[in-house]
Amino acid sequence: MSGIERTTAGPAVGARFERRLGRLLIVVTYVAVAFLVIGVALMVVAAISPLAGGPPLDPETLVGDIVALRASGFLWLGLLAVIATPVSRVVAAAIGFGRRGEPLMAFISLTILAVIAAGVGAALILEA
């Protein structure tokens, strides 16, 4: 009997999990687009050409740029949110699979995160 209950509850739990992940992606995407739109609007107001290039990413000045309403801060924050979208999906998947008792899928998700981290680490090393 418990096998039947688990079978009928499993798809419902899985569907709810997928809906939550979908909502997370939608929210992060909207946040990213909002930051990018604000950044572009600030560029227009400041008469900055989008072809002029921009400053490199400097995490130390990001908060100051946002507070000072500089376009570069909002554009970088929007781009970071775009990058964070798939990463947040993988993190949420790893947590969800772990809670659902699917260790193989949780391990695969964590392996994907490790590959992403290795890529970021390699890029930072090559950039230096």
Strand ranges, E, within the chain: none
Q: What residue has token string 């600030």?
A: 42
The reply to whether the predicted model has a pTM over 0.75 is no
For the segment 107-121, what is each residue's pLDDT rounded down to a tens digit?
Answer: 999 999 999 999 989
> Could you tell me the pLDDT band of residue 63, with boundaries at 50, 70 and 90?
very high
Count of helices and strands (H, E) across the chain: 4, 0
Tell me what pLDDT residue 41 has.
93
Name the residue range of residue 94's domain: 2-127
Number of independent structural domains in the chain: 1
Inter-axis angle of helices 71-99 and 103-127, nearest 10: 150
For the segment 68-118, what is each residue's pLDDT rounded down to a tens digit?
Answer: 999 999 999 999 999 888 898 899 889 988 988 999 999 999 999 999 999
